[in-house]
A and B are shown apart, each in its own frame.
Chain A
Amino acid sequence: MAENSLAGGFAAPAVNSAVAFRGIMMAMAEPGRIMPVSGGIPPRPMDSAAGVLALTLCDPTTPVGLMPSMDQPAIREWLTFHTGAPIIAPGEAEFVFGRFDEMADFTVFRQGTSEYPDRSATLVAAVASLENSGAVLRGPGIKESRALNLPDVTPFQANAALYPLGVDVVMVAGGDLVAIPRSTRVEVE
């Protein structure tokens, strides 16, 4: 087990995870708002925002799935050491980490059930950059509308149509993250 795959955890777990949780919660509460998070440094190619989310939200009760770009020994060891989360097939997992282009078909992930819509996956999708321009977001948590440079609007529209089922998406780029929960309606600009 190499040392560098174990470094990069929270230096002060209680404080770091509370601050990061606040950032992730604000991102979920205001879809499309870009929130910086910090404190954790996962192995490449995982973005630091994705690593911070894993350190904050994942534990032995939340199975994690890794798409091929993230399914590397260093990332597996890092997640196991710092979160204790079991790593299983992405189709069964509660949190799935990958690049957006690998995850464009949201329907292969857990969608929840009519009785328990919350038993669905949260996708943590890496994109090249995040900025407030492009596709138009509307829905709970957005006063009028908010713009976001989504790589593709189709999967988000199909996902919103499944409401209350569907997945929640967190997009990450470097140390920034932005949430598109299933309640958000996405339109082309």
Chain B
Amino acid sequence: MDSLSNQNEERHPGQWSRQQWLGLLAQSGSDELLSHWQQLDLDPGHRVLREAEIGSVMVRGRIGGEGDAFNLGEMTVTRCSVALDDGTVGHGYIQGRSRKAAMVVALADALLQTDQKPKLAEGLLLPLHEIRQARELELQAKAAATKVDFFTLVRGED
């Protein structure tokens, strides 16, 4: 739990790094993303550099963070790139196949690089971060409830 509350302190509005906000937006559910985006009521002028397209990427992992990387499996990813009228470029990559959500992430990424950042951090990143945090806590609680303690009084080998 400590690590989560530390993360929370790091993420006050205005302190988001691009890596952090793209990571959060990529992993947020597209329904939650779209509803919070609509509440912001932004319609920035933009051009599409790359139309939203759906593809798959191979997710690779290492057990325990070490050893050889292995292919965990493929996941569906949608990406999109836009340029705002002032030339700021935004890229959106999301899980799943919602072209609309990929476009929203690309727009949000571009706007977060402009002076609109505080507004988006407050209205989009913060609520999505809270949703994600709640989801993680719930998962941890479920996992904790199934925890089994193994006691071995005599191990035998010593």
Contacts and interface: CB of A to CB of B under 8 A. Distances in A.
Interface of A: 1-3, 6-7, 9, 11-13, 81-82
A41 to B, nearest CB: 12
A6 B49 contact: yes
25 contacts: A1-B89, A2-B87, A3-B49, A3-B83, A3-B87, A3-B88, A3-B89, A6-B49, A6-B50, A6-B81, A6-B83, A6-B89, A7-B47, A7-B49, A7-B83, A9-B49, A9-B50, A11-B51, A12-B51, A13-B51, A13-B53, A81-B49, A81-B50, A81-B81, A82-B50
B114 to A, nearest CB: 13
Nearest to B87: A3
Majority DSSP secondary structure for residues of B touching A: strand
Majority DSSP secondary structure for residues of A touching B: loop
Nearest to A6: B49
Contacts of B83: 3, 6-7
Nearest to B50: A9
A77 to B, nearest CB: 11
Interface in B69-125: 81, 83, 87-89
Nearest to B89: A3
B142 to A, nearest CB: 40
Contacts of A7: 47, 49, 83
Contacts of B87: 2-3
A81 B89 CA distance: 12
> Max chain B CB contacts within 10 Å: which of A2, A7, A13?
A7
